């Protein structure tokens, strides 16, 4: 595991299954309709149970770059933040990914939560390049943690060794 201290917080990298992490929050790489389909969302749906999707249905959706919070259902994590990343080719993808990350971190402070785990948002079926994702997500997280926040730990949980290595290189 790799770590970097930023302000009163720590950014750390782990390789594995985000749904197994015991944090206040795990982030779902969501679609704008908040329908838990495949990838990270599918794993969250399977392990978290129907309550998470029911809460998403009540919320109804959000914009690309937006983030909303629900319960963690049966997950170890107490909450799920559903962050909507961009699909490659839709335009303004870098800004939208930055906003999805930033809006997730802002929700952490709004709800006074201390630990969060992010996947590599938009890099699955949305086709976003992993290197650009790592650069944007790590940069915006570092900037945010240098400000006034009670977040203590931000974990980037990468499923594959190759994704982990890209994030590790960016963190260094």
Query: What pLDDT score does 38 carry?
Result: 84
* Structure confidence at residue 98 (pLDDT): 98
* pLDDT of 39: 84
pLDDT of residue 1: 62
Q: What is the pLDDT of residues 89-145, one digit of tens each?
A: 999 999 999 999 999 999 999 999 999 999 999 999 899 999 999 999 999 999 999
- In the chain, what are the domain boundaries? 2-171
Dihedrals phi, psi of 146, to nearest 5 degrees: -80, -15
Tokens at residue 90, please? 């839709």
Sheet with 25-30, strands from edge to edge, namely 2-6, 9-15, 153-158, 115-118, 25-30, 79-84, 67-71
Task: State the fold for domain 2-171.
Answer: 3.40.220
Strands 67-71 and 79-84: antiparallel
pTM score, whole prediction: 0.96
pLDDT in the model for residue 138: 98
pLDDT digits (tens, 9 = 90+) for 27-66: 999 999 999 988 889 999 999 999 999 999 999 999 999 9
Which pLDDT score is estimated for 42?
92
The confidence score (pLDDT) of residue 6 equals 96
Q: Cβ neighbours of residue 91 under 8 Å, at least 6 residues apart?
A: none
Burial class of residue 47 in the structure, from the number of CB atoms within 10 Å of its CB (0-12 exposed, 13-18 middle, 19+ buried): middle
- CA dist 141 → 12, 52, 110, 134, 155 (Å): 11, 26, 16, 10, 10
- Among candidate residues 103, 119, 116, 94, the one with its CA nearest the CA of residue 28: 119
CB 155 within 8 A of CB 3: no
Q: Tokens for 95, please give them.
A: 């800004």
Per DSSP, the three-state class of 122 is: coil
Express each pLDDT in 150-159 by its tens digit: 999 999 999 9
């Amino acid at each position: 595991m790799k770590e970097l201290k930023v302000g009163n917080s720590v950014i750390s990298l782990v390789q594995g299954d985000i749904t197994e992490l015991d944090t206040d929050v795990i982030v779902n790489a969501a679609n704008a309709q908040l329908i838990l389909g495949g990838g990270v969302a599918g794993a969250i749906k399977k392990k978290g149970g129907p309550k998470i999707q029911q809460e998403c249905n009540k919320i109804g959706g959000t914009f690309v770059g937006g983030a909303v919070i629900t319960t963690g259902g049966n997950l170890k994590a107490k909450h799920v933040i559903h962050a909507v990343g961009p699909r490659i080719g839709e335009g303004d993808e870098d800004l939208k990914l930055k906003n999805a990350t930033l809006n997730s971190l802002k929700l952490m402070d709004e709800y006074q939560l201390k630990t969060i785990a992010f996947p590599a948002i938009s890099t699955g079926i949305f086709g976003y390049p992993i290197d650009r994702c790592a650069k944007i997500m790590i940069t915006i997280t570092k900037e945010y943690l240098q400000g006034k926040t009670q977040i203590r730990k931000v974990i980037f949980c990468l499923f594959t060794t190759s994704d982990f290595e890209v994030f590790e290189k960016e963190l260094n």
